[in-house]
Amino acid sequence: MGRIALLPDEVAHKIAAGEVIERPASVVKELVENAIDAQASRIEIEITSGGIEYIRVQDNGEGIAPDDVKMAFQPHATSKISKTEDLFSLSSLGFRGEALPSIASVSKLTLTTRTAAEKSGVRAVVEGESIHTEPCGAPQGTTIEVRQLFYNVPARYKFLKSPATEGRRVLELVTDMAAAHPHIAFTLVRDGKTVLSTQGSGSLRDTLLLIHGKKLISELLSIESTYPWAKVTGYAGTPKLARGSRTGQLIIMNGRVIQNSTIRAAAERAYQGLLPSRVYPFFVLVLDVDPKFVDCNVHPAKSEVRFADDQTVFRDVLDAVRTAVLSKNIAPKFEVRQQFEARQRESQPVQFYKPQPKQAEITWEPRTWDTLDEVLRQYRPSAAKPKPPLAVAETPPRDDRETSAADTGAASTDAHAAETGIIADDNDVRSALKNGRIVGQLHQTYILLEVQGGGLWILDQHIVHERILYEQLVKEFTSRQVHIQQILPEVLELSAAEYARIQEHLEEIRAVGIELEPFGVNAFIVRGVPTFLSQTGGWKGDILEIAEAAEKGGHFLQAAAVTLACKGAVKAGDYLDTRAIKALLLDLAKTENPFTCPHGRPIIVRLEHQEILRRFGRA
């Protein structure tokens, strides 16, 4: 007897469902796409417990004819295509005929529908392989209710996240689909509360306003370009809208929300030179593509597509976005916050690393030149003193009796470095940071340090400070002793999806020293932050980044420390006087890892004495 046999229908349906239905958001996606294909102008979605216990999708579309109701639950039964050639000229979102049978195989499903030609509707109750239908009163359109998702597939059920997380993913999905179809009025009700509502005005700009808030609109740059293969429209955000993740990016092709690395890379390349590394632009791209140039049948969930000519797509999308970005003066405006600054000056001690005025703004006075002349006279080398002192003392010298054994050891290490011109180990590095002679700043970004043995070290001032703050924060987070400073309240206006993400991880955000309170609809108010960040503003992007790190789990506290340290560290272009530089170097010497920043970039670039000699032909 042969070993190969056809699988029972029940097993085959569950396998198919495993490819299409991964979580409640997958159910909502398939049902909403069916509603859009049915020409609905209004779609209402309701979920309970993140969609795990209950999902309802109701539309006012064409409805399903009574004779087609049972057929709709058969695998690969569809009204959208009839032959192979139709796959290459798709005008609908769905086409496989897998959604309803897949959902029905892993849940308890009820369908109620009526067409305009019928006086009464039909209700179908599906459990397993059983389909029971009966006539009923119903408005035109279709309503599908899904209960107890994965009740009969325990292995899949246990992989679902918390109701809060699953509910937020449904919210993110509906938000994207509302932007993809601005002519449809979407409503999302979550646990009895309306969390999203669009008007269906047909304007993408108005829909984005409802989703992201009114502050977004002034930062949008219109995209509108036409190419032989497609029309590219939408909006590109100014650099002010850039984020630490790609959550602000949306690609819509022929009404379908897609993921495509070619289009995303082209749009991001358009911002080259305008954004720092690891910062991603905000954009909403709408592509109206001739179906002959794209294959949508490459992913079970239809979320990925394949283009016939990726190089042409990349070039044209880059051109469209770049044209929009350069069409407007995107230089940031300087906004004076006098009340905020006054309050901070009254409530905060002067921070040691506070950037000083730009070099060009320093007023040179006679006493400044006198001091400089005195320093230069002391610096003049002589035969008896071939090398200048390694550091200029900024504080009164210590009494000789205070010299410790540790100082003696450090002096011995310095002597070894002086003979070889090479820093040998970790202790040598720390000693050089403590005792090196500060030459000054380069481009008000890099610290120049002359070390024992004649070598020159170049240190990035931002990542020096970032490493110091990072280790300080990790210690505070670990010991749960974060020092919080109350600030002038800052209101964060968010999209519904962003609000849900922060609400879900509110306790984790508070644990890292950020005091947040709900403030109206889709808004939070920031009342307190870690002390060293009390003079900074613009918290929206950083808090969202911390919330995303909390969602990923793992080393959340370290990830949050990286975000906050980067925000609080001195920046490139900040002028630092010698005292501030000295304090940075001393604190860097105390860190566990003075070699790289939390992102892995090197802090110190060394130019050894022997290399300098070789370059000048003196070796």
State which of 221-235, 239-253, 339-353 shows the largest mean pLDDT: 221-235
User: Which CATH code is given to the segment(s) 213-325?
Assistant: 3.30.230.10
HEC readout, 287-336: EEECHHHEECCCCCCCCECEECCHHHHHHHHHHHHHHHHCCCCCCCCCCC
Report how far residue 292's alpha carbon sits from residue 295's, in angstroms, rounded to the nearest whole number.
Answer: 8
pLDDT band, residue 53 (cuts 50/70/90): very high
pLDDT band, residue 586 (cuts 50/70/90): very high
pLDDT band, residue 379 (cuts 50/70/90): very low
pLDDT at 300: 61
Instruction: Return the sign of the alpha-carbon dihedral for residues 241, 242, 248, 252.
Output: positive
Q: Would the CATH topology of 213-325 be identical to that of 408-619? A: no
Whether the per-residue pLDDT at 553 is higher than 80: the answer is no
- Rounded to 5°, the CA angle 183-188-194 comes to 120
Q: Please name which of 234, 155, 180, 141 lies closest in space to residue 29, comparing C-alpha atoms.
A: 180
pLDDT at 296: 77
pLDDT at 362: 39
Q: What is the mean pLDDT of residues 231-247?
A: 91
pLDDT at 382: 40
Q: Do strands 185-190 and 42-48 pair parallel, antiparallel, or not at all (unpaired)?
A: parallel
Q: Which residue carries 């990726």 as its tokens?
A: 310
Q: Which residue carries 């897609």 as its tokens?
A: 258
- Produce one character per residue of 205-242: b if its CB has 16 or more CB atoms within 10 Å, e if not: eebbbbbbbeebeebbbebeeebebbebbbbbbbbebb
Whether the per-residue pLDDT at 305 is higher than 80: the answer is yes
| Per-residue model confidence as pLDDT tens digits over 330-370 | 655 544 444 444 444 444 443 445 544 444 333 444 444 45
pLDDT band, residue 244 (cuts 50/70/90): confident
pLDDT at 66: 92
Q: What is the mean pLDDT of residues 319-328?
A: 91
What class is the 408-619 domain? alpha beta
Q: Do strands 249-253 and 283-289 pair parallel, antiparallel, or not at all (unpaired)?
A: parallel
pLDDT at 415: 42
196 or 86, which is more confident? 196
| Per-residue model confidence as pLDDT tens digits over 480-522 | 888 899 988 999 988 888 999 999 999 999 999 999 999 888 8
CA 324 to chain centre: 23
- Produce one character per residue of 383-413: b if its CB has 16 or more CB atoms within 10 Å, e if not: eeeeeeebbeeeeeeeeeeeeeeeeeebeeb
406 or 447, which is more confident? 447
Cα Rg of the chain (Å, integer):
32
pLDDT at 293: 85
As given in the structure block, the two tokens for residue 554 are 């793992």
Domain boundaries, the chain: 9-197, 213-325, 408-619
| Per-residue model confidence as pLDDT tens digits over 98-134 | 788 889 989 999 999 999 999 999 999 998 778 999 9
The values of phi and psi at residue 165, to 5°, are: -70, -45
* DSSP state letter for 148: S
Whether the per-residue pLDDT at 417 is higher than 90: the answer is no
Q: Please name which of 466, 471, 449 lies closest in space to residue 458, comparing C-alpha atoms.
A: 449
Whether the per-residue pLDDT at 380 is higher than 70: the answer is no
pLDDT band, residue 617 (cuts 50/70/90): confident
Q: Please name which of 540, 532, 535, 537 lies closest in space to residue 501, comparing C-alpha atoms.
A: 540
Proportion of the chain above pLDDT 90, given as a percent: 48
Q: Which residues pair with 596 in a beta bridge?
A: 602
- Rounded to 5°, the CA angle 313-314-317 comes to 80
Burial of 433 (0-12, 13-18, 19+ CB in 10 A): buried
Whether the per-residue pLDDT at 527 is higher than 60: the answer is yes
pLDDT at 172: 94
Whether the per-residue pLDDT at 157 is higher than 70: the answer is yes
Q: What is the mean pLDDT of residues 294-308?
A: 75
pLDDT at 83: 63
- Cα–Cα distances in Å, from 570 out to 69, 365, 446, 459, 603? 65, 27, 11, 13, 14
Topology (CATH level 3) of domain 9-197: Heat Shock Protein 90 (3.30.565)
pLDDT at 15: 63
pLDDT at 357: 43
Q: What is the mean pLDDT of residues 412-439?
A: 65
Q: What rounded mean pLDDT belongs to the chain? A: 81
| Per-residue model confidence as pLDDT tens digits over 253-287 | 999 999 899 999 999 999 988 888 788 999 999 99
CA 617 to chain centre: 50
pLDDT at 336: 44
CA 403 to chain centre: 50
